[in-house]
Structure 1
């Protein structure tokens, strides 16, 4: 089995390059393709998926991963589902409940952004940046990684700068490169990460049947 990951930026691609080998079995290969932001991904997605449809084998899966940002989650999911269906794909959401439950494409939304996944594993953050307080997750502001007010990347920037890191502004690619290798996928408290992780486990189980 092979999985094509379509993500909106380089920092997500970088994070996945460390996370996916920790999750996927050795028999599953993958490629990650990043775009110049969410709007670039969404604008190019219809043509990209129609191109895939012309050649993609049955044992390939496509996983599209985008940030929620300030959008309505349900509307964004419907938009992604429509693009996939228009290109001729059966999505995981549409296949649910069907007898064979066969699908080839999965749409997943990070709530709110990649940095929420980092807040979901504070231990990884403190390993990457030792001067960050290990008790930060006990503060109400950061307790729910998917419900941090004012933007998660801005929150991560504040936390890191307070500890003396990224003084010139958060370097997202560097943060992903520093934090993701330390992450433990089984212990992440971000609900959106847990959904993503469970989805990959389901794909592995399907491959093993």
Structure 2
């Protein structure tokens, strides 16, 4: 039985989104979000953090490491994360497959957090009602994880066109506003569903 989930994230907006999303996934189970200054800082510091946890991590605790793909190769990035956990002596979800007993799950958000928001457009519209309902039907937006030219930039363009964020996208405000309205089961982003499944596996 899961008693606590520890989540490593790379920046403020993911932390803000997860503060809203994790209670929807975990119910009353305790969680702790450890935020690093940026992706490079997470990748640099995570090995030592994981090594520290390996010495005392209770059996009922799990660690979730969550990073953006950005321009990295997803397979290479995931392999780097897996290697960190293995070097610390921690069992990863990928290593044990469908079996039980993993301690760390590594997940890559493709391409950025904003892909998750494109995956639940109803939540975006609940927070920003003037954005068109038809955006997910348009070419280039049908697959939230394959939006070209930068996901947050695409979100900024859509929101500006609807009359929001005229001086530039405020990512922290966006994350808090949209995540509050998100419904786990309806999200079309594959990377979001992989994240949700990892949390679900920790609960199992």
Corresponding residue of 1:158: 157
**Where in structure 2 are there 5+ consecutive unaligned residues?**
none
Give, in angstroms, the shift of residue 165 of structure 1.
Answer: 0.8
Show the 5 A alignment for 1:42-61. 42-61=43-62
Q: For 1:140, what is the secondary structure of its paired residue? A: coil
How far the C-alpha of 1:202 sits from its partner, in A, is 2.0
Please state if 1:87 is matched with 2:88: yes
Specify the SS of the correspondent of 2:64.
Answer: strand
State the partner residue of 2:69. Answer: 68
* Partner in structure 1 of residue 24 of structure 2: 22
User: The residue matched to 2:173 in structure 1 has which SS?
Assistant: helix
Q: In the TM superposition, what is the alpha-carbon distance from 1:19 to its structure 2 partner?
A: 0.6
CA–CA separation in structure 2 for the residues paired with 1:11 and 1:83: 24
Report the alpha carbon displacement of residue 192 of structure 1 after superposing the two structures with TM: 0.6
- Aligned match of 1:139: 138
- Deviations along 1:20-64, one digit per CA (max 9) or x if unpaired, are 1111132x2111111111101001111111111122111110000
- State how far apart, in whole Å, the 2-side matches of 1:197 and 1:56 are: 22
TM-score, structure 2 normalization: 0.96
> After superposition, what is the alpha-carbon deviation per residue over 1:114-144, rounded to whole angstroms, capped at 9, x for unaligned?
0000000000001101110011111011110
2:119 aligned with 1:120, yes or no? yes
Q: Number of aligned pairs?
A: 202
Match in the other structure for 1:193: 192
Give 1:96 deviation, angstroms: 1.4
Distance 2:27 2:202 in 1: 10
Q: Which residue of 2 aligns with 1:41?
A: 42
How much has 1:101 moved relative to structure 2? 2.9
**C-alpha deviation, 1:105, in angstroms:** 0.4
Residues 135-174 of structure 1: CA deviation (Å, up to 9, x unaligned): 1111011110000000100000001111111111111101
Q: Distance in 2 between matches of 1:36 and 1:199?
A: 24
Partners of 1:125 and 1:25 lie apart in 2 by 23
What is the alpha-carbon root mean square deviation over aligned residues? 1.0
User: Which TM-score applies when normalising by structure 1?
Assistant: 0.94
CA distance in 2, matches of 1:200, 1:106: 9
Partners in 2 of 1:176 and 1:11 — Cα distance?
6
- Provide the rounded CA distance (Å) in 1 between the counterparts of 2:109 and 2:118: 13
List structure 1 segments (4+ residues) > 4 angstroms apart after TM superposition. none
